[in-house]
Chains A and B, each alone.
Chain A
Amino acid sequence: MADRYTPFGLVEPGDRVTVEREPVLRDETVVSKGLVRRVRS
């Protein structure tokens, strides 16, 4: 996932995340990474 999304704040393996913004792809190549945030309880 790290190649398609940038984490907002700290995101560690196993953390649940919300996708804040989808990546922009062209022919399966990442033009602009998406953004994820950790879901906090």
Chain B
Amino acid sequence: MTPRPVLSVDFGTTKTYFSKCPAEDPSPVSVDFGDGRDGLLTAILYRDGKDPLIGQTALDEFGEATTGERAGLRLVTNFKPEIALSGEARTAATDYLAAVLAEAGRQRLDVDPSVRQVLFGVPSEADDGYRAALKRVAEAAGYGTPEFVDEPKGALLYHLKQREISVDQALGGVLVVDFGGGTCDFALLEGGRVTHSWGDMLLGGRLFDDLFHQWLLDQNPGLEEDLKARGASYFVGTYLCREAKEFFSRSQARDRTTAVSKVFPRYGRFTDLTWEEFVERGTHYSPSRLIRQAFGAGAGNTLSDGERDLFLWFRKSLTEGLRSKGIANERITIVILSGGSSLWPFVPDILKEELPHLEDQAILRSDRPYAVISMGISVLPALKRKFARVRDALREELPVFIDEEIRPLLESRCALVEDRIVAWSRATIFQQGVGPVLERFRAKGGSLSSLRKELKKQVTLREADLRKTIGDALPLLLSGLRGEARELLAEWFSAHGIALPKRDFPLSADPAQRSDTILSTRAIGVEGMFDALQTVLGGLLTAVTAVLSGGAGTALIASGPVGFVLGGVLGASIAYLLARYGKEKARTFVEDLNLPPAVAGLLIDEGRIAALQEELSTNLRAHLEERLAPTRSQLEGHIQNLVLDEMNALNEINSF
């Protein structure tokens, strides 16, 4: 069956949002019904002999109506939570949703449900009764048979689609805070599923509209009576005060030290509104008669009078929910803010105070938090198809990625570490230790056995320094590797339109810090390095001894008058020892001989010293390469696992 484009509906208690998304491309758009704002108020105004009005127009028409006009009007709001329980609420919901389609038709908006897959958001706590009622309502209103998606999941999907969170983060503990005009809902998602949800049916942005209305009246004595006389109370109290509130909220989000003023020609003015006074008023807020009447117009909830602290109300809604559900703070790794009221700067402030383990970037909010749930819901089918394609592509490209990108990277990082260690060994062990000892031997002479001891001592003396050098060089491999590998992975994932997993490679060079250490001085084999050094130095001495024991006579005689005498004596002595006591005795004799400087200089000449230095470097490098080979393949394995985990996570998303 050919996938159809999607129409999604976030059917809210206060406001309802509609979004559309193409079948294959996760690019949702929020439907604008002509007022430049996302969504429509969930309100319907029945009028005698006329078609009902919906949305903000319904509320405004009722609010502006004279007492005489109101006789022919009936405003119904807050019907959405009641649809499973009340026939009147079901009728209002059906009429409202049908009127939305009619309005879309009048405005020539392309939202035809008959050619679309229709998805409705449902509150996470919605039971079967609610779902059945919503299905009946949607069908009767002309939306066909809808499918349901948990509302908080919409917010998660939106930010996933925006690549603001990675797939693995989406499967962690995500707290969605939906703070809208009329209600404040919380939901914890784990593994992409809602595990807990709670909320407050009264706490919403309209209380802040009311706060600003009271603030205006306080600053403009006599205005209330004046507005009443001119029939402008509703207009000023809702529309203008909401505008002022949003203006104030935006300016305070930028700078809370700025005072804000706003003039309403003919309707008074706000003068020098400060954050401090806003906090003071919010802390001691009492709902006005106007707002209590507005709450009374809907079914169910009523707002009692009396003072309350709006900030504490929000804080307690959060913390008491967490406590009563037994949710430890650490289970939450990401917070997503949705709903227009989440734009208030105090919202992230309180979240940071109550969830101090979260970094700033773990609290997400889109520029338009109003419509994220409906947009996220609409994107689900296209996102699932996209993730299935990405998963297949990652699987196919993984071997090539490892071979062409990761392997060369690992080789170059290992070479860097090898270079560091070899350069240090040359500069310290050879040039400061072995080299001067050999030069001294050349200048002053001595026995080969004492030279052997001295060389060994010079190497051993630097053991601690060598360990430290290796300890310092190894993190270079991991830190550089982490950064560069993540960059390559990010580029690869980005080419497929997904964000890089947040989790890091579980690797460490410090065994004291982590249990999953794969690199340590032990891994690189310090002891082995000493063996490699000693082997080369031992090889030098063996070669020199062999020269003395074997061809020494010839070599020394050929070297000149001194060598002629020495060569003669040595040759005769060694020949005697070999015949009388055997090879081993002869070797010991040679090594213990106290050689004069002239002979020492001839035996260990500058060419031999230079060759020794090169041989030491080559041997060390070979040893390091051999020791780092398993580490390299382990790192390859880690990166491979990271990609395999991501593929599994993409599978998980597909089960949403």
Contacts and interface: CB of A to CB of B under 8 A. Distances in A.
B51 to A, nearest CB: 11
Contacts, number: 25
Contact of B231 (A7, A10, A20, A40): A40
A9 B35 contact: no
A8 B239 CA distance: 9
Contacts of A20: 235
A7 B60 CA distance: 10
Given A9-B61, A9-B63, A40 B235 contact: no
A13 B61 CA distance: 15
A4 interface: no
B64 interface: yes
A17 to B, nearest CB: 12
Interface in B226-250: 231, 235, 239
B461 interface: no
Which of B57, B66, B69 is the most central at the interface, judged by chain A CB atoms within 10 Å of its CB? B57
B503 to A, nearest CB: 47
A6 B243 CA distance: 15
B38 to A, nearest CB: 16
Interface string B41-57: 00000000000010001
Contacts of B523: none
B602 interface: no
Interface residues of B, number: 13
A27 to B, nearest CB: 21
Contacts of B35: 6
Interface residues of A, number: 10
B562 interface: no
A40 B60 contact: no
B66 A10 contact: no
A40 B65 contact: yes
A9 B53 CA distance: 10
Contacts of A10: 53, 57, 60-61
A35 to B, nearest CB: 8
A6 B57 CA distance: 11
Nearest to A41: B66
A8 B235 contact: yes
A37 B234 CA distance: 12
Given A9-B64, A10-B60, 8 more contacts: A6-B35, A8-B60, A8-B235, A9-B57, A9-B60, A37-B64, A37-B235, A38-B64
10 contacts: A7-B57, A8-B64, A8-B239, A9-B57, A9-B63, A10-B60, A37-B64, A37-B235, A40-B65, A40-B231
Interface of A: 6-10, 20, 37-38, 40-41
Interface of B: 35, 53, 57, 60-61, 63-66, 69, 231, 235, 239
